[in-house]
Amino acid sequence: MKDSKLGQYLDTDRIVVSGEMSSQKRVFEILGELLSTGLERVQNTQISIELQARERLGCTALGHGVAIPHCRIDNVSEIRGAVIKLDSGIEFDAPDDKPVDLIFALLVPQEANQEHLETLSELAQFLSDKENRVRLRECHNAQALLDALMIDNDHQTI
């Protein structure tokens, strides 16, 4: 994907590679911890609760082992992301009934409607490409995964 902005929402402190988690609830707890890193006015439990509430409205799993949980929250000035790459997939109510092992979470400012939709769309498009999913699953550390998100479809670093 040319000019991908996905990496701008992440840093290596918010990426877990080779994680083992037993449930969707535990994934949301860890995502709350990751997404709240460095935020003073937002608690990890608040993020976890909001992610779970959004998931109850509709499944965020896309299929092919990928999910994009997301929520809007007050006291956040910009979109931030977190990624968990699991060693073994977990049940996530995916449309293809496959377990999820790549989880990309977005925390979005309450008022960022258009940017939220554009970012979700870009992420979904990126993850719908089989080569991108394979490349991400081959990553063994946070920096490699971040670098993989900064590559366009021609495999050029952007």
Domains of the chain with CATH codes? 6-148 (3.40.930.10)
Answer yes or no: 64 catalytic: no
pLDDT digits (tens, 9 = 90+) for 106-154: 998 888 777 778 888 888 999 999 999 999 999 999 999 998 887 654 4
CA angle 28, 145, 138 (to 5 degrees): 105
Quote the pTM value.
0.89
Looking at residue 5, its pLDDT comes to 62
Looking at residue 94, its pLDDT comes to 93
Among candidate residues 70, 116, 140, 155, the one labeled active-site is 70
Burial class (CB in 10 A: 0-12, 13-18, 19+), 115: middle
CA angle 103, 60, 90 (to 5 degrees): 50
